[in-house]
């Protein structure tokens, strides 16, 4: 459904050149939920703007549903839905007026494609007279999704739809995406939240304009070559320092209330590590082998690149 080949983009910031995208390549199959995952400044919005024909790449080619985004952009715009990162609705129009407006610019009506947005819009309907600017973050997000869907796109581009949205709304949002997928819509969604990777069919990890990996979340974690432990004691600060000095430890980084200790598969001895930490007077030690998370893999891949 989406073919991205050799896409590069550089911005000129006054006298400085900023490379936003470096030779990006990947494909997205029809009906997939594809997550573009990376931190602020990674290049996610730039890539989505190129894919939606809003800006031009310096190099490379993008084909969506068999059409070239540069030469056949009118077709793309007709068949793609786009929800930009920043709230894009008309704040002083009501909920209903916003939706009517987006339907009108695509030569359609709310009634015509109501089935697509019904589940989502029903939650907004009690507030349909309310100005969009007065909605909560979660409701704005739902309205923006309805507006991106009202012309029945085949492919949907969502730029950080869950950023700054509360945990419950985030969860609901992903349920809505699964329903859209079930209707055959291909979805590219960007997010800085690594834990959302598990909700995608496949993900592209992006950092500093470069794709680090493209695969299913389970293949990415299965490809992690080392072993990870979660480690905790009463004195986190000295624990970090001491653990890092132990032979065979690749890295030790804080991770929520634990530290993630990465070591090679061979040449690391759990028992002598524990004895070593006790000899350094650490008490309340908790130490357990864990499965690598997408974030662990991201850090690993980042250090490889």
Residues in contact with ligand ADP by the rule CB under 6 A: 11, 13, 18, 20, 38, 40-46
Nearer CB in complex with Mg ion: 82/229: 82
Q: What's the min distance (Å) between Cβ of 18 and ligand ADP?
A: 5
Q: Which does 11 bind (CB under 5 to 8 A by kind): ligand ADP, Mg ion, none?
A: ligand ADP
Applying CB under 5 A, the span of 39-47, 87-95, 180-188, 240-248 interacting with Mg ion comes to 39-47
Given 21, 45, 173, 263, the residue binding Mg ion (CB under 5 A) = 45
Q: Which does 266 bind (CB under 5 to 8 A by kind): Mg ion, ligand ADP, none?
A: none
Applying CB under 5 A, the span of 8-16, 57-65, 80-88, 272-280 interacting with Mg ion comes to 80-88
φ, ψ (nearest 5 deg) of residue 118: -45, -55
The answer to whether 10 and 20 are in contact (CB under 8 A) is yes
Nearer CB in complex with ligand ADP: 204/292: 204
Q: What's the min distance (Å) between Cβ of 53 and Mg ion?
A: 17
The answer to whether 99 and 150 are in contact (CB under 8 A) is yes
If one asks whether residue 207 binds Mg ion (CB under 5 A), the answer comes out as no
Q: What's the min distance (Å) between Cβ of 38 and ligand ADP?
A: 6
Q: What's the min distance (Å) between Cβ of 212 and ligand ADP?
A: 13
Three-class DSSP labels, the chain: CEEEEEEEEEEEECCEEEEEEEEEEEEECCCCEEEEECCCCCCHHHHHHHHCCCCCCCEEEEEECCEECCCCHHHHHHHEEEECCCCCCCCCCEHHHHHHHHHHHCCCCCCCCHHHHHHHHHHHHHHCCCEHHHCCHHHHHHHHHHHHHCCCCCEEEEECCCCCCCHHHHHHHHHHHHHHHHCCCEEEEEECCHHHHHHCCEEEEEECCEEEEEECHHHHHHCCCCEEEEEECCCHHHHHHHHHHCCCEEEEEEECCEEEEEECCCCCCHHHHHHHHHHCCCCCCEEEEECCCHHHHHHHHHHHC
Q: What's the min distance (Å) between Cβ of 138 and Mg ion?
A: 20
Q: Which does 293 bind (CB under 5 to 8 A by kind): ligand ADP, Mg ion, none?
A: none
Pairing of strands 2-13, 16-28: antiparallel
Q: Which does 42 bind (CB under 5 to 8 A by kind): ligand ADP, Mg ion, none?
A: ligand ADP
Nearer CB in complex with ligand ADP: 55/240: 55
Applying CB under 5 A, the span of 83-91, 176-184, 256-264, 273-281 interacting with Mg ion comes to 83-91
Q: Beta-carbon neighbour count of residue 206 at 10 Å?
A: 25
Interface size with Mg ion, residues (CB under 5 A): 3
Nearer CB in complex with ligand ADP: 19/240: 19
Q: What's the min distance (Å) between Cβ of 300 and ligand ADP?
A: 20
Q: Which does 285 bind (CB under 5 to 8 A by kind): ligand ADP, Mg ion, none?
A: none
Q: What's the min distance (Å) between Cβ of 174 and ligand ADP?
A: 20
Residues within the interface to Mg ion (CB under 5 A): 44-45, 85
């Amino acid at each position: 459904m989406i073919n991205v080949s050799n896409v590069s983009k550089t911005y000129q910031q006054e006298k400085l050149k900023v490379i936003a995208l470096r030779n990006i390549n990947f494909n997205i199959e029809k009906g997939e939920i594809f997550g573009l995952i990376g931190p602020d400044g990674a290049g996610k919005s730039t890539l989505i703007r190129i894919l939606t024909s809003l800006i031009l790449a310096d190099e490379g080619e993008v084909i969506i549903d068999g059409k070239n985004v540069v030469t056949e952009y009118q077709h793309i715009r007709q068949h793609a839905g786009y929800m930009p990162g920043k709230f894009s609705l008309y704040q002083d129009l009501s909920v209903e007026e916003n939706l009517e407006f987006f339907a009108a610019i695509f030569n359609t009506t709310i009634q015509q494609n109501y089935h697509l947005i019904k589940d989502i819009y029903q939650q907004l309907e009690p507030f349909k007279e309310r100005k969009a600017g007065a909605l909560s973050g979660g409701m704005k997000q739902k309205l923006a999704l309805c507006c991106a869907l009202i012309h029945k796109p085949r492919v949907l581009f969502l730029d950080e739809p869950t950023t700054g949205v509360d945990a419950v709304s985030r969860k609901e949002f992903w349920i809505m995406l699964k329903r859209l997928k079930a209707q055959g819509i291909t979805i590219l969604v960007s997010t800085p939240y690594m834990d959302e990777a598990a909700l995608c069919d496949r993900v592209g990890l992006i950092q500093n304009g470069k794709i680090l990996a493209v695969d299913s979340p389970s293949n990415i974690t299965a490809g992690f070559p080392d072993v990870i432990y979660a480690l905790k004691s009463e004195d986190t600060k000295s624990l970090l320092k001491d653990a890092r000095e132990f032979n065979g430890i690749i890295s030790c980084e804080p991770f929520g209330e634990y530290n993630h200790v990465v070591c090679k598969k061979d040449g690391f001895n759990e028992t002598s590590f524990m004895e070593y930490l006790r000899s350094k007077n650490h008490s309340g030690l908790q130490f357990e082998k864990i499965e690598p998370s997408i974030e662990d893999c991201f850090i690993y891949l980042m250090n490889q690149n």
